[in-house]
Chain A
Amino acid sequence: MARSIIFGRYSPGKSPIHRMDPRLKLTAVLVAMVVILMSNTYPALAVAAAFVIGFYFVARIPASTALKSIAPLLFIVVLTALLNLFFVQGGTVYAQLGPLVISQEGVHFAIFLSLRLTLLLCMASLLTLTTTTLDLTDALEAMLKPFARFGFPAHEFAMVMGIALRFLPQFADELHTIRQAQLSRGAKITANPFKGGLSGLSSLMVPLFTSAFRHAETLSAGMDARCYHGGSGRTRLDPLTFTRLDVAGLVAIAAMAVCVVAAGMFHM
């Protein structure tokens, strides 16, 4: 069984953040990410970090879970840091090795940008950690709805996304099983075409695709059987509603924006 922790896998809970309306949560997270992107000084970043930590605290998600959820994407942070370290020049030169120069500006940018990126990842991860994929696609659908007027298939788009997300872990599991089965038959599974890698790969990909088609057929039959006919005229069992909780969330995000901007100005 493939048990790798997927970026921002839903972590069940009943915290206020879990219970917030997904539409508002999605908007709030987008706003928070913009705020983080706009914070250009260390004090501003520190204030933003304090808010993010506060959000995680309210969501009752332990630091270890939070870190695990962003760990697979940390390579982006490291890459960004390295690129900045070597390619941004200016100020005092600390070390020089041939064409590689480590300067004051480079170090500053490397640290600053990796902190900011980590915060961004934490914020994005908070959304998926506290929201089920079903809620998330509902929120997306609601937010895309205005574009339906111009012929954009908002409902279908959200449905396709929801189904894709739903089947990702399943296909990961199935790929794992297929791989084990072919290994049992002595398959050499490598990408090297000179070592029979291609036939090895087709022994994985063909069963995976047939399985995808099989699931698609079963799923479409199941949807037909329950009279699914697309988005028009569909009502919801649990209509999304805004509550006082969402007002509180809105206030928290507004406070974050104001505080971060203020902290940025203070430094100037």
Chain B
Amino acid sequence: MIEFRNVSYSYDPAAAAKAPDAGDAQADWGNSPDELWALRDVSFTLNDGEFFGIAGHTGSGKSTLVQHMNGLVAPTSGTVFVDGVDISDKHAASRVRANVGLVFQYPEHQLFASSVFDDVAFGPRNMGCPEEDMERIVREALQTVDLDFDAVRARSPFELSGGQQRRVAFAGVLAMHPRTLILDEPAAGLDPEGRRELLALVRRLHGDMGVTVVMISHSMDDLAVMADRILVLNQGSVWALGAPAEVFADAQACKSIGLDVPAPQRFANVLKERGVALPQPAGGLFTRESLVEAIAAAYRGRR
């Protein structure tokens, strides 16, 4: 369980101290580069076993927010608790890192070891896992991301394809067996096939292995289908927090902060504007299937 209590963060704490009011922002959406506050008074609780989506326009503070979750960044004011422990303390933060795995954007850019094995083993070795368990740990991690352990273990990560590199980087975090997995745009820059596979992997981790997942994404379609709750950031403040159906209920409001609603819902909204109102299911219109059903229901109702 991760709890954010009134967390504000500034890149320039000295200047922020002079203007302690994390109040008004000037930019329309996103933060202007000189903006004092990257996060303003953020409070929420992430429950165990949850699939938590984070959305928001570029520069709204998403990446800064998740870097608070394993203590990489300490709040300028406010507190982050992981399992009830305040992680502003350096030692608490480094203990937390074994439990909270953070996969950065384009994680393949952080590969460095001369073999896939060593790269995946980097995390567990840092955590002090005994060397005799290493082969088993690495094998499992690579299997989880659908890579053939025997085929890739001795290869240089730089010889692999882009999609494979990303999976190795993923495996490097999974090898630490985190209970919470934070993914910053995991599918960015992948082709549609790679994207589908990666999201399927994330679903499997959450569904079968019970990992708590926090996922930042620009694809509202993915978030709406996968997430239990979505947190929307705007200019560093919590703009909305709730189930996808609640968050995307007001398409106009979403648009005003530079956020799209999922494509099927958008389709239904346009139809409604043209005078064809579809029945709105309680869970929202977030998949093509539910859209087809709604259209079919409307069509049948008409006859």
Contact = CB atoms under 8 A, between A and B. Distances in A.
Given A183-B72, A186-B176, A1 B11 contact: yes
A210 interface: yes
Given A183-B97, A188-B126, 6 more contacts: A178-B109, A181-B107, A182-B110, A185-B97, A186-B94, A211-B109
A180 interface: yes
B211 to A, nearest CB: 16
Interface in A15-73: none
A92 interface: no
B104 interface: yes
A14 interface: no
Contacts of A185: 97, 122-123, 126, 172-173, 176
A3 B11 contact: yes
A203 B104 contact: no
Question: By CB atoms of chain B within 10 A, which of A1, A185, A206, A210 has the most?
Answer: A185
Interface string B162-189: 0000000000110010000000000000
B70 A184 contact: yes
Interface string A168-191: 000000100110111111111000
A207 B98 contact: no
Closest 6 pairs between A and B when the two form their complex, measured CB to CB: A186-B126, A206-B112, A185-B123, A184-B102, A181-B110, A181-B104
A202 interface: yes
8 contacts: A182-B122, A186-B126, A186-B127, A202-B112, A203-B122, A206-B113, A210-B111, A211-B109
Nearest to B67: A180
Contacts of A205: 112
B81 interface: no
Contacts of A1: 11
B149 interface: no
A3 B11 CA distance: 7
Band of interface residues on B: 20 to 34
Nearest to A178: B110
A207 B102 contact: no
Contacts of A204: 112
B148 interface: no
A182 B12 CA distance: 24
Contacts of A203: 110, 112-113, 122
Contacts of B67: 180
A3 B104 contact: no
B120 to A, nearest CB: 10
A180 B126 contact: no
Contacts of B107: 181
Interface string B89-113: 0000010011001101001011111
Interface in B55-72: 67, 70, 72
Interface string B110-130: 111100000000110011000
B158 interface: yes
B72 A180 contact: yes
Contacts of A206: 111-113
Contacts of B158: 210
A177 B72 contact: no
Contacts of B110: 178, 181-182, 203, 207
Contacts of A211: 109
B70 A207 contact: no
Contacts of B123: 185-186
Contacts of B98: 186
A202 B72 CA distance: 20
A110 B47 CA distance: 62
A3 B12 contact: yes
A183 B11 CA distance: 19
A211 B173 CA distance: 21
Contact of A184 (B12, B111, B112, B173): B173
Contacts of A177: 104
